[in-house]
Amino acid sequence: MSERTKIDARGAYCPGPLMELIAGLKLINVGDEIEVLSSDKGSANDIPEWVKKVHHEMVGITQQDGYWSIVVRKAK
């Protein structure tokens, strides 16, 4: 069963949500997931764009109250 790690990157200007995701993916096993919380609306675009480039899997994006929840599965 896959595990899910949460990264709360709300209000994180540097290194920012995508960099946190990239670093976080290095620490989990293939098949496990990371949920990134981001208050930067750009994350809703740049995270899926990068995930597609490197062939991981987007599990979902949901807009919450003032932030986005973005779930990615490590595919390789």
Partner 1 sequence: MAKRILIVGGGLAGTIVANGLCRQLREDLSAGSVVINMIGATDKHLYQPGLLYLPFGRARESELFRDQRKVLDRRVPYFIDPAKHIDVDKQVVTTQSGKAHSYDYLVIATGSRIRPDNIPGMTEGAHWFYDLDGARKMRDALAAFQGGRIVVNVNAPHKCPVAPLEIVFMLREHLAAKGLLDKSEITYTYPIGRLHALEPVANWTVPEFQKYGIKSETFFNTKSVDAKAKTITSEEGSTLEYDLLVTIPPHTGQQVILDSNLGAGGWVPTVRNTLLREGSQNVFVVGDTTNIPISKAGSTAHFEADTIIDNISSLIKEDRWAREYDGKVFCFVETGLNSGTYVWFNYTTPPNPGPPSQMIHWFKLAYNRLYWLSARGLL
Output the CA–CA distances (angstroms, integers) from residue 38 to 15, 60, 61, in the order listed. Answer: 12, 14, 11
Site of tokens 């990134």: 36
* Amino acid, res. 69: S
Over the window 15 to 54, marking each residue x when it contacts partner 1 by CB under 8 A and - when it does not, the resulting string is xxxxxx-xx--xxx-------------x---x--xx--xx
61 included as an active-site residue: no
Rounded least distance, CB 64 to partner 1, Å: 17
Rounded least distance, CB 3 to partner 1, Å: 11
Q: Which residues are catalytic?
A: 14
